[in-house]
Chain A
Amino acid sequence: MSDGTKPTRRVALKVLGGTLGAGAFAYASRPIVEWASNQSLDDVLRKHYKELTREELAQVLHDLEAETKKLHGVDVHIEDIPPQEGVQFGYALSLSVCIGCRKCVEACHVENNHDRRTNNSYIRVLEMEQGSFDMERGNADYDHAVPAPGKYYMPVQCHQCDDAPCVRVCPVEATWKERDGIVVVDYSWCIGCRYCEAACPYHARRFNWTTPEIPAEEINPDQGYLSNRIRPQGVVEKCTFCLHRTRKGRLPACLEACPTGARVFGNLLDPKSEIRWVLENKRVYVLKEELGTHPRFFYFFDV
C-alpha cells in the first residue's frame, strides 16, 4: 500500500467510511423518497391527450375528478370539450375604452382556478403613456385610481398566435393549436422545461412553481381538461380563451367582467359577428406584429 498504512487499519477505515457514506446517502435521499412515494404510477404513465381513446379519456377525466377530491376536497366536473366545426375564435380589445380597472384580471383569476397566494392571472394590464407605444415606458404594477390622466391601458394575455413560438419550441408536443385557433397545454404531458415561457413574446405563459392553493369553497367546479382544471405542480399553463365556456357558446370570463365593453369576442368565420365588424371597420393594431406570430388577439381604437 503506497501510503504505508497497515492493511487492517486501512480496511477498518474503509468500512467506517463506507458506513458513514451509506448513512449520509440515506439521509440525503429522504426528500426524494417522499416525493417519489407521492407520485402515482397512473399519472407518470398517463398518455398524451391526442393518444387517448374515448374510453381512456373518460377514465382519465374520472381519475382526475377523484384526484381533485382527494387533494382539494371538492367535487368538480372535468369535461373534454372539443372545438366546434366552422368556428375560428378571435378577440379584440379597444384601447380607447379600457380604463385599466383590472376586473378582467380578477375574473380570470377566479374562473381559471388560479393559485390564491400568488394572485395569479393570465392577464397583465400595462399602464401606458399617452402618445407612446413603447412598453418600456409602461407600468404593470400601478396602484392608484384609474384611469390616471395622461395614461391609457393595455391588457395583455395569450394572443393565440397562428405561428406560435411556444408551440414550435415545445420538445414534447405538450402544447398545440386546436382547430378553432386556441393554443392549449396538456397539463398531464408537460415536462416543465419552460422553454415555451422563454419563447413567448407576450408573457402569456405561467409556470406552477408549486401546487396551486385555493380554498375549497372558491374552486370553480366547471372545468375543462385542456383549460381551467386545477393544474398540477411543475407544469406550464396559459389562457385558453376560456374554452370550457366559449366552446359552449358562452363568452370568456374576462369579457363578461369588463365594465366598459372594451372587449369583443367571437367567431371570425361568421360575417355577421361583432368581431368581424370591428376588424373590418376600426383601426386595428397588432402587438409585436413584426415578430410574425400572427396573433388572434387585436387591439383597436374607437375614433
Chain B
Amino acid sequence: MADPTEQVSLPDVPDPPPPARVTYLRFLWRSLMLAFDGTWRFYAWMSVLTAIALVGYHAWGQQLLNGMQVTALTDHVSWGLYIANFTFGVGLAAGAVMMVIPAYLYDDHDMHDVVIVGEILAVAAICVCLGFIVVDMGRPDRMWHILPFIGRFHWPVSMLTWDVIVLNGYLVLNLHIVGYLLYMRYTGRRPRRRWYVPFVFLSIFWAISIHTVTAFLYQGLGGRPFWNSALLAPRFIATAFISGPAFVVVLLEVVRRFGAIRVPEGATQTLTKIMRITVLLNLFMLVSELFTALYSGGAHAAAVKYLFFGSHGKAALVPYIWTAVVLNVASAVLLHHPRSRTSSRWLIAACVCAFAGVYLEKGMGLIIPGFVPSTLHELVEYTPSITEWKITAGIWAFGLLILTVGLKVGLAVWSGALRDREARRAAK
C-alpha cells in the first residue's frame, strides 16, 4: 500500500494568470451560472430531465393530498418501489468509493485524475436516496421529528436513526471534498492536505457504513426470515461494488466524449477489474443463499420459492428475478471475456447488464419478498402503481440533473477550462 501521507499529484494544468481572489459563495454562484449555459444537446437533455422531474413532483403532490392510497402498497406489502430504489441508490453512492480507494489509498494516478467523477456521483446518488425516503414517508410535514436534538431521535436503538446519520454525513463529507478541491483549483491554489485528506479517508469508511447500516435495517428484523440473514450486508457491499463501478465506467465513457478532461484508460481498467471480482462474489453468495433456503426448506424457503418460482399461483416477481439472474450471469461472462479489455462497446454492454441486474435483484427482488408471504403467511402481491412509477422516474431524473450539473461544472473547473475562459474574457 502506498504511503497515504504522500502528496498525490494533481493533473498538469497550464497555468493561466491567477484570477482575483474569489469567495466561496461567489465561486458557487459562478458554478451555478455555468449550469445554465451549454450546447443545444445540453439544453435538450436538461429539459427532458426537468420535465420528468416535474411529472414526479406533481405526482408526489397528489400522493400527499390524497394519501398513499394512490400507491399499490398495502398493510401486507408496506414498502415497495420507493424503498427498493432507495436501497439500490445507497449501493450506487457507496460504490463510487471504488474510485476513491485506488486514487488515495493505492496512489493510482490514473484514478486520481477522475476521482472527482466518483465523488460527484456519490452526492447525486445520496440526493436520490433522500428523495426516496421523503416520498415514502406518510407525514413528511413532520420531518423535524427525526432531527437530532430538535425532534426525538431514537438513537442508538433504531437503525433508521443510524441511517439518517450515515447518509447525511456521507453527503456532507462528499460535498465538502468536492467543493473544497474544486474551489482551490478554481482559485489556482494548492489544496491544503489537512483540509481534505482526513475527510477523504473518513469518506472511505463512511461509504462502507452507509451500505452496512442500510442492510442492518432489514437484516435485524427477526420477523422477516427473507431478510434476517447475516449474508445480507456482505451481499449489499458486493452489489454496491458492481453497480457503482458499472455506472462510473459508462459515465467515464460519456465524459470522454463530452467532458473537458482527459480520461485515462487505467481508471476504466481498474474499475473493470473490481467488477470482475464482485460479480462472481455476488453470484456465489446468491447460490449460497438459495442453497440454504431451498435445501433446508420450511419458513425460510417460502419467500425464496415465491420469488423464484411463484407460490399458490402467484408469481409477480418471477419475471423480475429471472431477468436479474440472466443479466448478472451475462455480465459475469461479458466481463471475463477477453474482448472486455479491447472493445469499449463490449465493456459498456457488460456494465449495462451488471447495473440492470443489480437494480432488479437488489430493488424489487430484495424488498418485496420480505413481505410476501406476510408475517401471517398470507400471499398478497404487489405491483407498483402508475403514481409510484412517476415519482420514481422523477427522483431519478432529479438525480441525473444534479449529476449533470455537478459534472459539467466540476469538470470545467477541474480541467481549468473555466478559469481559462474567464481569464480570456477578462483580457478582452
Binding site for B on A (CB under 8 A): 2-3, 5, 14, 17, 21, 24-25, 27-35, 38-39, 43-44, 48, 124, 126, 135-136, 138, 140-141, 156, 165, 168-174, 189-195, 197-203, 205-211, 233-236, 288, 291-293
15 contacts across the A-B interface (CB closer than 8 A)? A2-B39, A28-B54, A30-B61, A136-B302, A138-B376, A140-B378, A169-B221, A172-B142, A192-B142, A194-B136, A198-B79, A198-B224, A203-B374, A209-B69, A234-B67
CB distance from A186 to the nearest CB of B (A): 10
The interface residues of chain B lying within 8 Å CB-to-CB of A34 are 61, 65
Contact check, A207 vs B154: say whether CB atoms are below 8 A apart: no
**Docked complex: B394-412 residues within 8 A CB-CB of A:** none
Determine if A21 and B146 form an interchain contact, defined as CB atoms under 8 angstroms apart.
Answer: no
Q: Of the candidates B60, B138, B221, which one forms a contact with A233 in the assembled complex, judged by CB atoms under 8 Å apart?
A: B138
- The residue that A191 contacts in the complex, of B60, B74, B145, B374, with Cβ under 8 A, is B145
Instruction: Determine the chain A residues whose CB is within 8 A of the CB of B47 once the complex forms.
Output: 17
Residue of B nearest to A189 (CB): B145
Q: Which of B64, B138, B153 contacts A194 (CB 8 A)?
A: B138
Contact with A along B168-199 (1 / 0, CB 8 A): 00000000000000000000000000000000
CB distance from A155 to the nearest CB of B (A): 11
CA gap between A83 and B371 in the complex, in Å: 34
Stretch with Cβ within 8 A of A (4 or more), from B156-164, B241-249, B314-322, B332-340: B156-164
In the complex, are the beta carbons of B145 and A169 less than 8 A apart? Answer: no
Q: Is the CB of A200 within 8 A of B223?
A: yes
Distance in angstroms between the alpha carbons of A173 and B152 in the assembled complex: 6
Q: Which residues of A contact B64 (CB under 8 A)?
A: 31-32, 35
Question: Residues 48-85 of chain B: 1 if any A CB is under 8 Å from the residue's CB, otherwise 0?
Answer: 00110011011011101111110101111011000000
Provide the residues of chain B in CB contact with A206, threshold 8 Å.
75
Which residues of the partner chain A approach B376 to less than 8 Å between Cβ atoms?
124, 126, 135, 138, 140, 156, 202-203
Q: How far in angstroms is the closest Cβ of chain A from B220?
A: 8
In angstroms, Cα B132 to Cα A106, docked, is: 36
Q: B428 at interface (Cβ–Cβ under 8 A)? A: no
The answer to whether B51 touches A24 (Cβ under 8 A) is yes
Known pairs A156-B376, A202-B376, A210-B66 / 13 extra A-B pairs, C-beta < 8 Å: A14-B36, A35-B61, A124-B376, A136-B302, A138-B376, A172-B145, A191-B145, A192-B142, A193-B136, A193-B138, A207-B78, A208-B67, A209-B68
For B39, the chain A residues whose CB sits under 8 A away are 2-3
Inter-chain CA distance A236–B50, complex, in Å, is 34
Decide if B373 touches A136 in the complex (CB within 8 Å): yes
Q: Are A172 and B78 interface neighbours, CB within 8 A?
A: no
Q: Is the CB of B158 within 8 A of A171?
A: yes
List the A side residues contacting B69 at CB < 8 Å: 209-210
Q: Is the CB of B160 within 8 A of A31?
A: no
Assuming the contacts A140-B376, A171-B153, A192-B138, asked whether A28 and B58 have C-beta atoms less than 8 A apart, the reply is yes
* Known contacts A172-B146, A192-B137, A32 near B67 by CB under 8 Å: no
Given A27-B58, A28-B57, A31-B64, A291-B138 contact (CB < 8 Å): no
- Between B47, B58, B159, the greatest number of chain A beta carbons within 10 A of the residue's beta carbon is seen for B58
In Å, the complex CA distance between A190 and B64 comes to 15
Please determine whether A198 and B221 come into contact, CB atoms closer than 8 angstroms. Answer: yes
Q: Does B149 contact A (CB under 8 A)?
A: no
Quick one: closest B residue to A199, CB to CB? B221
Give the A-B contact count at a CB cut-off of 8 A. Answer: 179
Most buried by B among A172, A173, A207: A172
B139 and A190 within 8 A (CB)? yes
Q: Does B295 contact A (CB under 8 A)?
A: no
With contacts A189-B145, A207-B78 known, is A201 near B67, CB below 8 A? no
- A135 and B57: CB pair below 8 A? no
Q: Is B143 an interface residue (CB 8 A)?
A: yes
By beta carbon, the residue of chain A nearest B68 is A209
Q: A136-B302, A165-B222, A197-B78 given as contacts; is B159 within 8 A of A203 (CB)?
A: no
Q: Which 8 A-B pairs have CB atoms at the shortest separation, nearest pair first? A: A192-B138, A201-B223, A31-B61, A234-B138, A210-B67, A32-B61, A171-B160, A28-B58
Tell me, yes or no, whether B375 is within 8 Å of chain A by CB.
yes
Residues of A within 8 A of B140 (CB): 191
Q: Does B284 contact A (CB under 8 A)?
A: no
The smallest C-beta distance from A94 to any residue of chain B, in angstroms, reads 19
Closest to B56 in A: A28
Scan B111-154; emit 1 where CB is below 8 A from any A CB, else 0.
00000000000000000000001001111111101100001111
B151 surroundings in chain A (CB, below 8 A): 172
Q: Is B45 an interface residue (CB 8 A)?
A: no
Q: How distant is A122 from chain B, measured CB to nearest CB, in Å?
A: 11
Instruction: Please give the distance in Å from B255's CB to the nearest CB on chain A.
Output: 17
CB distance from A83 to the nearest CB of B (A): 20
A92 to chain B, nearest CB (A): 19
B349-386 to A contact mask, C-beta < 8 Å, 1/0: 00000000000000000000011011111100000000
Is there contact, CB below 8 Å, between A209 and B67? yes
**Chain A residues in 8 Å Cβ range of B78:** 194, 197-198, 207
Would you call A35 and B65 a contact (CB within 8 A)? yes
Contact B54 A24 (CB under 8 A): yes
Let me know if A136 and B55 touch, CB within 8 A. no
Chain B residue nearest to A27 in the complex (CB):
B58
Q: Which of B58, B146, B222 contacts A201 (CB 8 A)?
A: B222
Residues of the A chain whose Cβ atoms lie less than 8 Å from the Cβ of B223: 165, 199-202, 288, 291
Residues of chain B contacted by A28 (CB below 8 angstroms): 54-55, 57-58, 61
Contact status A135-B377, CB under 8 Å: yes
> Could you tell me if A208 and B160 are in contact, using CB atoms closer than 8 angstroms?
no
Beyond A24-B51, A193-B160, A207-B78, whether A44 also contacts B142 by CB under 8 A is yes
B299 adjacent to chain A (CB < 8 Å): yes
B138–A168 CB distance below 8 A: no
In whole angstroms, how far apart are the Cα atoms of A209 and B242 in the complex? 36
Per-position binary interface string of chain B over residues 201-227, scored 1 when its CB falls under 8 Å from any chain A CB and 0 otherwise: 000000000000000011001111000
List chain B residues, Cβ under 8 A from A24. 50-51, 54
A35 contacts which chain B residues (CB < 8 A)?
A: 61, 64-65
* Cβ-neighbour of A39 out of B73, B141, B375 (below 8 A): B141
CB A183 to nearest CB in B, in angstroms, measures: 15
Closest to A232 in B: B139
With known contacts A32-B61, A194-B78, A198-B79, A171–B373 Cβ distance under 8 A: no
